[in-house]
Amino acid sequence: MLEAAIEILLKTVVILALPLGALPLIIHVERRGAAFMQKRLGPNRVGPFGLLQPLADVAKFMFKEEVHPTHVRPFFYTAAPMVALIVALLPLACIPVAGPIEAFGRTIYPEVFRSDMGIFFAFAVSALGSYGILLAGWASNNKYSMLGALRACAQMVSYELSLSTSVVAMIFLFGTNDIHVMVQAQSGYWLGFIPQWGVFYQPIAAMLFLVGIFAESNRLPFDLAEGESEIVAGYHLEYSSMKFALFFMAEYIHMIALSALFIILFFGGYGILPGMEGLASKSPYLLMLLQVVSLIIKIACMIWFFVWVRWTLPRFRYDQLMNLGWERLLPLGIANLIVTVLFVYFRNQ
């Protein structure tokens, strides 16, 4: 009993500490990446290569005055950033960082919440993300906030549809909801060197899911929740100091969690990268280490892709965004699902 409690606590701390610890680094990479693409220097004064800049920002957030305007709905105004962060953290509970390992005389699963409905659970809780935003917009009692929240919500729910159709297609192909089985199914090779990742079975679903991540986490080119010239900062307009920082963190953690889900479905999850087999076969513990490293490398590539897209594509107009979601991506997702199902059925006949 004590052993189990220690195991749960240890897993929880590690799973929470990894993304939260990586957060300053990600923000730094984003700012330096932006500077790199715009031919300027970016933050480079605080510490070596400016690496301590995010920590300085955190300290600044802590010591800023907490403005609590008089016109807000106090309880929900305070609760909204908490809801946003908690909901962003929840999907991480069922994302495994490595395969199951035999240790201390039993099988240990390196995820907090072991479930054979892992994918289902992750999407159920990550879809709650719009609650924090809507609550913030409504509680702020400000026209800009309300409009920003409505926009963000309408956008998130619209793109969730095409994202869900691609998930259904993948669940149908794998025939399972269990993340470990999904990763196992993607572990082989074609012709000895092409990994059997989901993206090669379902390129259209992968594309839909990728677009969906950008819309779900309100990243450029889909960051219509904010707009300097129209609604200023959108739903977090009335928030300051650490309350604003919680929304900021929630956005990045949502991004990490959705990237991890994308990698699980389409890029082999924690499966080791090609070329690591020789090293991995030496010991199960080394294999586990390589799996964690592989997952981190894959997520890092995704984060860099986010930065890259942010400074490459221009923003959409709101009606273009909604038309793309409802009139292009949703039919494409449903057509992809129907073709996949019929193809699998007739191939097995």
Partner 1 sequence: MEFASFVVFFVIACTLSAVLLGISSLLGQKRKSVREMDIYESGVNPVGSATRQYDIKFFVTAILFLLFDVEIVFLLPWALAYKDTTNQAFMIAGFVFFMVILLVGYIFVINSKALKWEE
Report 41-70 residues binding partner 1 (CB under 8 A).
61-70
Task: Give the phi and the psi of residue 30 in degrees, each rounded to 5.
Answer: -65, -45
Q: Shortest gap between Cβ of 212 and partner 1 (angstroms)? A: 13
Closest CA to 205 of 25, 10, 337, 49: 337
- Structure tokens that stand for 37 in this block: 């693409």
Residues 18, 37, 168, 280: which binds partner 1 (CB under 8 A)? 168
Residues 8 to 37: which contact partner 1 by CB under 8 A? 8-9, 11-13, 15-16
The count of other CB atoms within 10 Å of the CB of residue 271 is 26
Q: Is 164 in the site for partner 1 (CB under 8 A)?
A: yes
Dihedral-angle region of residue 241 (phi above 0 means left; psi in -120 to 50 means alpha; beta otherwise): left
Q: Is 78 in the site for partner 1 (CB under 8 A)?
A: yes
Q: Shortest gap between Cβ of 315 and partner 1 (angstroms)? A: 15
Task: Output the CA torsion sign for 111, 27, 138, 317.
Answer: negative
Place of tokens 């894959």: 298
Residues 286 to 345: which contact partner 1 by CB under 8 A? 318-319, 322-323, 326-327, 330-331, 334, 337-338, 341-342, 345
Residues 42, 44, 177, 300: which binds partner 1 (CB under 8 A)? 177
Cα–Cα distances (Å) from 25 to 35, 167, 175, in that order, read 15, 30, 37
Taking the least distance from each CB to partner 1, the nearer of 59 and 313 is: 59
Residues 81, 110, 148, 212: which binds partner 1 (CB under 8 A)? 81
- Structure tokens that stand for 341 in this block: 């199902």
Closest CA to 294 of 280, 308, 305: 280
Residues 237, 263, 307, 329: which binds partner 1 (CB under 8 A)? 237
Q: What residue type is 219 in one-letter code?
A: R
Q: Shortest gap between Cβ of 54 and partner 1 (angstroms)? A: 15
Q: Is 175 in the site for partner 1 (CB under 8 A)?
A: yes
Residues 18, 44, 47, 115: which binds partner 1 (CB under 8 A)? 115
Torsion of CA 140, 141, 147, 150, to 10 degrees: 70
Residues 208, 211, 220, 245: which binds partner 1 (CB under 8 A)? 245
Taking the least distance from each CB to partner 1, the nearer of 165 and 186 is: 165
